[in-house]
Amino acid sequence: MSYWPSQPHTFRNSVEDYSMELMKLAQTLNVFIAKTLDVAPELLADKHVAQFLRMSYYPPCTSMPEKVLGFSPHSDGSFLTILLEINSVQGLQIRRSGAWIPVKPRHDALLVNVGDLLEILSNGKYKSIEHRVTINAHKERLSISAFHVPNYGGIISPILGTIEEKMLYKAVGVEEYARLYFANKLEGKKALDYAKLSGI
Ligand SMILES: O=C(O)CCC(=O)C(=O)O
Ligand SMILES: [Fe+2]
């Protein structure tokens, strides 16, 4: 691929190494997720096989930082997102019971977000998290989001724990959901309404 910058010369290798390590991490997380859902890990094995990296730079805003957002409220359309808050500048907030809660960055940890596709697959046992990014008045913020998604040709359908369990989401094609997600503006968890069956 001809898009890699030549400077810094370590960039490509570092990004590729990081990406590969995260693929392994996503695989390990999936095994734990399968355990919590009481299903065989093989059932989830193809749910995180593709990865997209987004590197975000949020410049400081000295005049009116409270009037700007770095990222509008949204949930991720992925299965799992693994976030690195590179310089540990606070900005990420999650929505809990209608309130925005700041997430304190930890330099020694990655942050894992549940995406919409995991909410569908788990029939709502895992909930994708609505989040946004605010801007700091004095400090720039840098992050890398790694979105883990299934193959575009695949289908995500809810795994039900028992025969009595009510199916709350319909099965969606991964490509179909991705199209819908990107066609919508970032508006909280609105894209997920598409997959919700009536009654929730
Ligand atoms: O920069 C962040 O902390 C989060 C970015 C984000 O929500 C995203 O890339 O989807
Ligand atoms: Fe996000």
User: Could you tell me the CATH number of the domain that includes residue 159?
Assistant: 2.60.120.330
Domains of the chain: total: 1
Distance (Å, whole) CA 13 – CA 170: 40
Distance 74 CA to ligand 2 centre (A): 6
Residue 200 lies in a domain: no
Q: Which whole number is the average pLDDT over 41-69?
A: 90
CA-CA distances (angstroms) from residue 39 to 45, 58, 64, 77? 11, 40, 49, 23
Residue 97 lies in a domain: no
pLDDT at residue 199 greater than cutoff 80? no
Model pTM?
Answer: 0.93
Residue 161 lies in a domain: yes
% of residues, the chain, pLDDT over 70:
98
Whether the CB of 191 sits within 6 Å of ligand 1: no
**Residue owning the nearest CA to atom 8 of ligand 1:** 145
What pLDDT, in 10s, does the model give residues 152-187?
999 999 999 888 999 999 999 999 999 999 888 777
DSSP annotation of 158 reads P
Q: ipTM value of the model?
A: 0.98
What pLDDT, in 10s, does the model give residues 90-104?
999 999 999 999 999
Closest CA to 175 of 50, 42, 13, 4: 50
CA-CA distances (angstroms) from residue 128 to 1, 62, 113, 187? 33, 32, 7, 14
Distance 123 CA to ligand 2 centre (A): 21
Residue 98 lies in a domain: no
CB 116 within 8 A of CB 78: yes
Give the position, in ligand 1's atom list, of the atom nearest the Cα of 56: 1
Range of the domain at 14: 10-54+76-87+110-126+140-194
Closest CA to 129 of 145, 143, 146, 112: 112
Residue 96 lies in a domain: no
Confidence of residue 200 (pLDDT cuts 50, 70, 90): low
CB 67 within 8 A of CB 74: no
Pocket-testing residue among 69, 74, 83, 142, ligand 1, by greatest number of atoms within 8 A of Cβ:
83
Query: Would you state the pLDDT for residue 43?
Result: 87
Residue 119 lies in a domain: yes
Give the position, in ligand 1's atom list, of the atom nearest the Cα of 131: 7
Residue 183 lies in a domain: yes
CB 74 within 8 A of CB 54: no
Residue 157 lies in a domain: yes
Q: Which whole number is the average pLDDT over 61-66?
A: 88
